[in-house]
Amino acid sequence: MMDDNSHASRIPSFIREAIAEDLQSGRFNYVRTRLPPEPNGYLHIGHCKAFLIDYFAAQEFGGELYMRFDDTNPAKEETEFVKAIEEDAAWLGIKWAKETFASDYFDLLYEWAVRLIKMGLAYVDDQTQEEMSASRGTLPKGTKWSETAATLKPGVDSPYRNRSVEENLDLLERMKNGEFEEGSRVLRAKIDMQSPNLLLRDPVMYRIMNVSHHRTGDKWHIYPMYDWSHGQNDSMQGITHSLCSNEYIIHRPLYEWFLQQLGAFPSRQIEFSRLNLTYAMMSKRKLRKLVETGVVRGWDDPRLTTLRGLRRRGVPPSAIIDFVTGLGETKNDSWVEMAQFEAVIRDHLNKMALRRMAVLHPLKLVIDNYPEDGVEEMDAINNPEDESAGTRKVPFSKVIYIEQDDFRETPPPKYFRLYPGNEVRLRYAYLVKCVGVVKDEAGNVVEVHCTYDPATRGGNTPDGRKVKSTIHWVSAKHAILAEVRLYDQLFTVDRPDDGDVDSIINPNSLTILESCYVEPALGESNPGDAFQFERTGYFCVDSDSQNGKLVFNRTVGLRDTWGKIEQGGKN
């Protein structure tokens, strides 16, 4: 959990200055922000920036934060997602003063729509969606909003635009009561069909949906469009500062028009650049497809950058907060490399994760001159970055496991680990020298034989001789069998939202190692516990772990591997 005061300055300077100016000028005499998630999926890394800016802005100015679920589309929303968003936001450390739903305001929103009809500023339109699109105009593919004035042709008024107030009120009431089929009518605001801003060309306020709502049941047969409910909900709740990403810049004139016509509380919208992270999918629609088609194991699959996936992978919330708030701020959208995120994760785990020894690809090593039944306990440091973490005892015996990569019968150049005739240091234990190997029928080395020097206990060399390599190990007699899941990037392209999901999945994004050995201290660990497997990477205990079978997820390696990925190398 984050300290409410520890990140008080972690909002963009232009937002801080705007809020301070509003308070100084008397535009507002308090600060209230909001988180407006739509409960149609799980939170992902892209949501974190807006959430944290809203949260820290309220904290810095002594204000409060509301959690408001935008449940205006019952066809896609589920209570499951509401609970998940609550839990994920709380895990991130966000605290909110009040929880509300857009549906809490459906009655008042309807009253405001009636007011606009009576003012001659809204009407019921019987055109089809295709007819409305044709009369409003559409942007050519790839056109930026800033180019709308030059590319859009003037709109054409709907033939129903001048219906009488009485007829519009009657039709809207009947729409609400479920007398018409879906798609047969909508309520539109009457603004300006010639506007260069497409959103001001008589936008739809309500559409007919004969769908049961997860909170209001079958009371409503019309549901508000996002652009009608969002700004009005801000006003209804007394939200002073509606902080959102740049895609809503073009929506701001519409929100302000509604508020001005209704004489409602004038919430102020301020935009900032969105978080675009390479190799991270931000589209909830595409994420949902990955889950529903079984490409991933669920919303908490560690290959996803959902908060649930990051949590299960072992990413601490403090790392997410420091990454997002430490990016610096521009008003223009830009891309952040995944390697930058992983560097922050690595830095946090380096300070907090206890060190343990684990052998992922075991090779048996027998110390010929060690007592047959001998067992010693070696002192091992829990975390060299945290003296208060202390030490632990690690059992040592005649037969141990080492990593297969730490032995070569015929070593390549500059290979300083174990090979016939060479001496290495066993971490926290002794120096050993390879004196022979045992091979199977196929000629593969299945057992390495060594001798040890009893005078080198703890890895010391009383005679001052130099040993160039130190390797980790696990006592075979005391080892715990574990499953280790190695996660790689899920997508083969760095901007997965731009491509077809089925064609960009990395078939090697998960490797499961079922015969790993870990030191006995890990037998007391619980799901979510984070460790550094020495010389290997950072891992956490997965929720699939059970008594007698530990499962670990690799959070991140000890070094940056994304440079290799960019060059087409293998992680």
Q: Give yes or no: 559 in active site.
A: no
Which residues lie below 8 Å from residue 293, measured CB to CB, with a gap of 6+?
A: none
Contact indicator for 179, 191 with CB cutoff of 8 Å: no
- In the structure encoding, which two tokens stand for residue 544, read together? 């699939």
- The active-site residue out of 38, 78, 131, 409 is 38
Q: For the residues of 382-437, what is the DSSP string, one character each?
A: S-TT-GGG-EEEEEEESEEEEEGGGB-SSPPTT--SB-TT-EEEETTS-EEEEEEE
Which residues lie below 8 Å from residue 104, measured CB to CB, with a gap of 6+?
A: none
- The active-site residue out of 16, 95, 115, 274 is 274
Cα–Cα distance, 50 to 34 (Å, whole number): 10
Side-chain half-sphere exposure of 419, counting CA atoms within 13 A = 12
Q: Give yes or no: 534 in active site.
A: no
Q: What is the four-CA torsion angle of 212, 217, 223, 224, rounded to 10 degrees?
A: -140
Task: Give the phi and the psi of residue 433 in degrees, each rounded to 5.
Answer: -125, 135
Q: For the residues of 447-491, what is the DSSP string, one character each?
A: EEEEEE-GGGGGG--TT------EE--EETTT-EEEEEEEE--SB
- In the structure encoding, which two tokens stand for residue 536, read together? 């290997």
Cα–Cα distance, 208 to 544 (Å, whole number): 44
Contact indicator for 192, 198 with CB cutoff of 8 Å: no
Cα–Cα distance, 55 to 53 (Å, whole number): 5
Cα–Cα distance, 161 to 168 (Å, whole number): 10
Rounded-to-5 percentages of helix, strand, coil across the chain: 30, 25, 45
Cα–Cα distance, 492 to 478 (Å, whole number): 41
Which residues lie below 8 Å from residue 437, measured CB to CB, with a gap of 6+?
A: 409, 420, 445, 447, 448, 449
- The active-site residue out of 190, 284, 312, 398 is 284
Contact indicator for 410, 458 with CB cutoff of 8 Å: no
Please tell me the total number of residues recorded for the chain in this structure: 571
Ranges assigned E (strand) in 36-166: 64-69, 98-101, 122-125
Q: What is the four-CA torsion angle of 413, 418, 420, 426, rounded to 10 degrees?
A: 150
Contact indicator for 258, 187 with CB cutoff of 8 Å: no
Contact indicator for 240, 22 with CB cutoff of 8 Å: yes
Q: Give yes or no: 303 in active site.
A: no
- In the structure encoding, which two tokens stand for residue 459, read together? 């890895």
Q: For the residues of 180-219, what is the DSSP string, one character each?
A: S-TTS-EEEE---TT-SSGGGSS-EEEEE----BTTTBTS
Catalytic positions, please? Answer: 38, 274, 284
